[in-house]
Amino acid sequence: MPVLLYNLDAAGVSKSECTRIKHAWNTMMYKIYGVSGDMLHLIYAYTNCIPLKSELLLRQCTFLKNCCKKITVLYNLYINALDVEIYAIAC
């Protein structure tokens, strides 16, 4: 399952791509559990999986949150480096 969703959190997924991935996802669930259609919700509930659309949204939110953290760390390093340079120039 992770291979199917690899790197989709960083890339925007169009509606048609999402439909194709959803079909592959449902086919995978059918081959593993032998269940399709409305019964998939029961499989999701019992296996702690979430539907594909929710999984993609969660991955994108986590990716953006991590990007913001990294940008903040880089920004702080840059500001600290500027402070050191300004202090060195003043002395």
Examine residue 7 and state whether it is found in any structural domain, yes or no: no
Examine residue 58 and state whether it is found in any structural domain, yes or no: yes
Examine residue 10 and state whether it is found in any structural domain, yes or no: no
**30 pLDDT above the threshold of 80:** yes
Enumerate residues 6+ apart whose C-beta is below 8 A from 63: 9, 10
Examine residue 70 and state whether it is found in any structural domain, yes or no: yes
**Least confident interval from 5-9, 30-34, 78-82, 84-88:** 84-88
pLDDT digits (tens, 9 = 90+) for 37-67: 888 888 888 888 777 788 888 888 888 888 7
| Element containing residue 66 per DSSP (H, E) | helix 52-90
Rounded distance between C-alpha atoms, residue 51 and residue 44, angstroms: 7
> Which domain covers residue 39, as residue numbers?
15-90
Q: What's the structural domain count of the chain?
A: 1
Examine residue 51 and state whether it is found in any structural domain, yes or no: yes
